[in-house]
Structure 1
Amino acid sequence: MRGEPSCPKCGGRVRAPGLFADTWQCDVHGTVHPLQPVVPPSVEALAVVVKRAQVPVWMPWPLPVGWLFTGVAYAGDDRSGGRATVVACSGPGPLGGPGELLLVAEELGVGLGARFAGLPGPDPGPGMNVDRPPQVKVVAAGRPTPLWLVGGVPDDRAVFAGEARGLWLWAIVWPEQSGLLMYDELVLADLRDAGAETDVVPCGALSPRLLS
């Protein structure tokens, strides 16, 4: 488990603001919003991210039957707040076996969603054909939200992306067949609006996807 901030785009080391730069720096990507260390899933860890987030913290709510909250992380620092968030959930896949879902909300160019999607990034644009109808729709914070299947990703996952509350929304699902979960019109809650409901989120073991 990582104990230091890292680059949201590549996972590499970052340098804290100092004498020569007033922003976090990655040797490869320059100025970045640092991805803070991933901690074991708990109601307390979720509350910390929700409090600091400047973007939505999306979670299926209610969770699909048998699914658990399995981790959360954010990119940003004490000064800027969370400019990208990722929530992990795990449970039985629609066709049997285990399934995993990452939901990422982020500002343009942060690159966290593209990293988990297995794309060079930082955004999904080249892999989305928005001239065609969206493949799935979710309900995000009470609003119907179209998501398009993103091409060019590794074969072991399905990736969907769109826009919610003026920001990128990514849904990344393992294995690829578990992408069928997205066709059930998931209802997503922004946990910044959830209040005391977050106190009863069922927690599981930390998803290794957050550490990749």
Structure 2
Amino acid sequence: MSCPRCGGRVRAPDLMHTEWRCADCGPVPPLHVAEHVGPEIVASAAERVTEGCEGAGRPSVPLWCLWPLPPGWTMTGVAWAGDDRTGTRATAVACSGPAPLSGGPADLVLVAEEPGVGLGTRFAGIPGPDPGPLLTHLLAEPAPGRGEQPAHAKIRVGGRPTPLWSVKSPTDRSAYAGEARGMWLYAITWPSSAGYLLAEDVVLHDLTEWLPPELVYGAPSPYLRGQA
């Protein structure tokens, strides 16, 4: 298990502390990353996410995945942050496939999280525990000739049209952030040009609701462990 904000090691609760702790980030929900990905592992993760939230009296955190998958794409990882006491507070799903423009390899990580967790900002490479300040600043800037800043991507999330805005990130990736079901939603792609995937007809499905039997799985993504 690791810190969702920095990827460092976390210490379990002890006599002095009731929460998991990172030496650099303080109290954090521990991040669990599945070693492999397949139908049994994803089903187990979805059950863990749902039961953890119910046990802690929290709304269930969605486990967003591309569905249907774009041609050539596979699901390549699943992760969640939380423990038995607090319940799940963030989830991440990785998918991989051909980049929409170059045709080379591309990776996408989708994060759903409660405010303040910091998993999405870590993958996006942006400061702070959530994108609120960046989005506030972005939306306050009028678009040339159009007044209000329009969304940079519009996708369907759980059956609803959902706007996402591009936030400034390192040049090796593209990062989009928005809100769905009262929680932060991030879509981060590698390389940066793979962000054009979100210009297509993208639909996200919550795997805690049901697991499509046709879902295709691939080799584990290195991005969930920060190894890329």
Fold agreement, TM-score > 0.5: yes
Give a deviation string over 1:47-78, Cα, whole Å, max 9, x none. Answer: 12211223000001100011000000110112
Give the count of matched residue pairs.
Answer: 205
User: Could you say what secondary structure the match of 2:172 adopts?
Assistant: coil
Q: Normalising by the residue count of structure 2, what TM-score does the alignment of the two structures yield?
A: 0.86
2:124 alignment counterpart: 117
Is the Cα contact below 8 Å between 2:151 and 2:163 reproduced in 1?
yes
Equivalent in 150, 157, 167 of residue 167 of structure 2: 150
Deviation of 1:18 after TM superposition, in Å, equals 1.1
Structure 1 unaligned runs (5+)? Answer: none
1:187 aligns with 2:194: no
Shift >6 Å, 4+ stretches: none
Equivalent in 69, 83, 88 of residue 75 of structure 2: 69
**Amino acid corresponding to residue 174 of structure 2 in structure 1:** A
**Amino acid corresponding to residue 175 of structure 2 in structure 1:** V
Give 1 or 2 for the bigger CA radius of gyration: 2
Tell me, in whole angstroms, the C-alpha distance in 2 between the residues paired with 1:45 and 1:124. Answer: 30
1:23 alignment counterpart: 19
Cα RMSD after superposing both structures:
1.2
1:133 alignment counterpart: 150
| Alignment map for 1:23-42 (pairs within 5 Å) | 23-42=19-38
Deviation of 1:181 after TM superposition, in Å, equals 0.4
1:202 alignment counterpart: 216
1:55 alignment counterpart: 61
Identity of aligned residues (%): 55
User: Could you say what secondary structure the match of 1:156 adopts?
Assistant: coil
2:57 alignment counterpart: none
Tell me, in whole angstroms, the C-alpha distance in 2 between the residues paired with 1:36 and 1:121. Answer: 21
Structure 2 unaligned runs (5+)? Answer: 50-59, 141-148
